[in-house]
Amino acid sequence: MDKQTERTPMNVIPSETIYGDGNVIIPMADVQHIEKKYYSQDMLNPTVKKGDLMGISVIMKSTRWNMEHDFWDNPVWIGRDRAEDFIRSWCYYRYEVDGIKELMEI
């Protein structure tokens, strides 16, 4: 295999195609994008400050945009305790499928 065809989606089988953490099961191929959500104000909990990560919304191929309310209707929610693990797994999946080195540097 020459270097140009070495890492194409047609000839790469990713090591992990399903993400599961005990709360959610997500097929990686169906993930459209990820939106990080942050606290907009300080909370009563002293360990949570404005700007801290609340969690992520995983936008899937099946997620619908609500034109009336201007937000996603049914994204998958992953709280901050597991968000970084999912992002790492999804970036590695995209790296394996697309061969995009920059994703691993995020």
In a domain, residue 5? The reply is no
Predicted pLDDT of residue 101:
61
Rounded to an integer, what distance in angstroms lies between the CA atom of residue 82 and that of residue 101?
23
Q: Is the pTM of this model over 0.75?
A: no
In a domain, residue 63? The reply is yes
Which residues constitute the domain of residue 57?
18-105
In a domain, residue 60? The reply is yes
Domain count, the chain: 1
Q: What percent of the chain has pLDDT over 70?
A: 79
Cα radius of gyration (the chain): 17
In a domain, residue 38? The reply is yes
In a domain, residue 11? The reply is no
21-69 pLDDT tens trace = 888 999 999 999 999 999 887 767 777 788 889 999 999 999 999 999 9
- The position carrying tokens 């599961």 is 20
Query: Which of 60, 50, 49, 52 is closest to 24 using CA atoms?
Result: 60
